[in-house]
Amino acid sequence: MNRTIRALMGATALCATAGIAAAQDTTLTVATVNNGDMIRMQGLTSDFTEKHPGITVEWVTLEENILRERVTTDIATQGGQYDVLTIGTYEVPIWAKQQWLVPLDGMPDDYDADDLLPAVSEALSVDDNLYAAPFYGESAMVMYRTDLAEAAGITMPESPTWADIKAAAEAMTDKDNEVYGICLRGKPGWGENMAFLTAMANSYGARWFDMDWQPQFESEEWNAALTDYLDLMTNYGPPGASSNGFNENLSLFQQGKCGMWIDATVAASFVTDPESSTVADKVSFAQFPNKEGMDNHGNWLWAWSLAIPASSQKQDAAKQFIAWATSKGYTELVASKDGWRAAPPGTRTSLYENADYQSEAPFAAMTLQAINAANTQKSSVQDIPYTGGQFVAIPEFQGIGTAVGQQFSAALAGQMSAEDALSAAQANTTREMTRAGYIK
């Protein structure tokens, strides 16, 4: 009897030791992009490893498109090189349907998934299963200079129409002093000018495709949206706008050269940061504009999110990491180190209920309103066969969106008319959608 007990105890001890050894061997490889919030997370990794002594974390930071390429190759070949991926709301539904991602069920009890903002949570779910946890989220809104608006005698409504925007841009423009009424994206790319123009077109009642996947660029709505965009940028925008993306406009706004900038809500924390913005205390916010009589504010929604590839061999440890990085506790950790303004925005309801955050982040209420208003399941007022807000959630969109973006950017550069750009976009998209088998 004694011998049996001793043998059992020995075996248990051996198993325990082996278990500890195995746990200590777990190294998670996290692939990410070089955004400020991600870099901050890297710096705080020790908090996670202290709480999970058996796990170490290795970071791979890559340029956004290289990251997509690398991760796609790795998942397609079942390489298992990565355990946690940083991906966006565009990839999550597509990759989840391909069964490339692991559903994030069985998260720890204190994770409180119900606290995630419903619009964000919905955009990252397929068949009611969450496939990625949002690290930070964004919609789009108007950021404008209160001093310039006041000097021009303009009162910006909380929910402006495109006519209000045009009037404000005209009033605030002072080209002699290098102040331009409006700064918008013009650099070609599905995630650059087409993110903005798709949201703008949504707010004009346009849609990318009808229910038979026929492109709709020759519709009145697209024509009105693109014509107004070109009119705004040609008359009141900065020179060389066709090469301006998020970063270029951020710089222009921070230098006080833009009266308004309509872009991702995450920019609000940059333009109100006194360390990098010369106009930090002269900025206010308004909802993404809509066309008069059209109940649609663009439906822009993006969330950089953490997901586990199906090829990962360390899915349990990866889940623990994601639970830590996207938890309420992580937000509090960031706030304790760098202040509430630095807390990753746009993911949890509790952040927007926090009085400290509200007082430190003047953009909090408008950000929340913009995110909550975004409907990525039906981004157009017309019937559509796709999901996605400022993009179309099909694998072909990266190529098609960039090709269309090049036409529209050329129109902005004055190389072609709006009609010619729309015709070219229609022809190109019809060809690609036929090739891909959507159009029979």
Partner 1 sequence: MARAISRNSKIGWTVAAWLVALIIFFPILYTIITSLKTEQEAIAGFDLIPSFSFSSYETVQNQNNYFRPFMNSVVIAVGSTLLALIVAIPAAWAMAFSPTKRTKDILMWMLSTKMMPAVAVLVPIYLIFLRTGLMDTRTGLVIILMLMNLPIVIWMLYTYFREIPGEILEAARMDGATLRDEILYILTPMAVPGIASTMLLNIILAWNEAFWTIQLTTTNAAPLSAFIASFSSPQGLFWAKLSAASTMAIAPILILGWFSQKQLVRGLTFGAVK
Residue closer to partner 1 (CB basis): 38 or 225: 38
Q: Token pair of 55, please? A: 């796990």
In the complex, the smallest distance separating the C-beta of residue 355 from partner 1, rounded to whole angstroms, is 27
Burial of 99 from C-beta contacts in 10 A (0-12 / 13-18 / 19+)? exposed
Q: Among residues 270, 285, 300, 324, which is the contact residue for partner 1, using CB under 8 A? A: 270
39 binds partner 1 (CB under 8 A): yes
Q: Pick the stretch among 35-43, 200-208, 321-329, 422-430 that binds partner 1 (CB under 8 A).
A: 35-43
Beta-bridge mates of residue 130: 125
Residue closer to partner 1 (CB basis): 168 or 184: 184
79 binds partner 1 (CB under 8 A): yes
Binding-site string for partner 1 from residue 165 to residue 194, where x marks contact by CB under 8 A and - marks none: --------------------------x---
Q: Among residues 250, 393, 400, 412, which is the contact residue for partner 1, using CB under 8 A? A: 250
d(CA 227, CA 225): 6
33 binds partner 1 (CB under 8 A): yes
CB atoms within 10 A of CB 225: 25
Residue length, the chain? 440
CB atoms within 10 A of CB 97: 14
Residue with tokens 């539904």: 93
Q: Segment 358-387, which members bind partner 1 (CB under 8 A)?
A: none
In the complex, the smallest distance separating the C-beta of residue 166 from partner 1, rounded to whole angstroms, is 27
Q: Pick the stretch among 54-62, 148-156, 344-352, 361-369 that binds partner 1 (CB under 8 A).
A: 54-62
69 binds partner 1 (CB under 8 A): yes
Q: Pick the stretch among 69-77, 198-206, 315-323, 408-416 that binds partner 1 (CB under 8 A).
A: 69-77
Q: Among residues 201, 264, 306, 307, which is the contact residue for partner 1, using CB under 8 A? A: 264
Q: Token pair of 129, please? A: 């299963």
Q: Pick the stretch among 172-180, 213-221, 247-255, 396-404 that binds partner 1 (CB under 8 A).
A: 247-255
402 binds partner 1 (CB under 8 A): no
In the complex, the smallest distance separating the C-beta of residue 27 from partner 1, rounded to whole angstroms, is 9
Under the rule (CB under 8 A), what is the footprint of partner 1? 29, 31, 33-36, 39, 42, 58-64, 66, 69-70, 73-74, 76-77, 79, 81-82, 191, 246-248, 250-251, 254-255, 264, 266-267, 270, 276
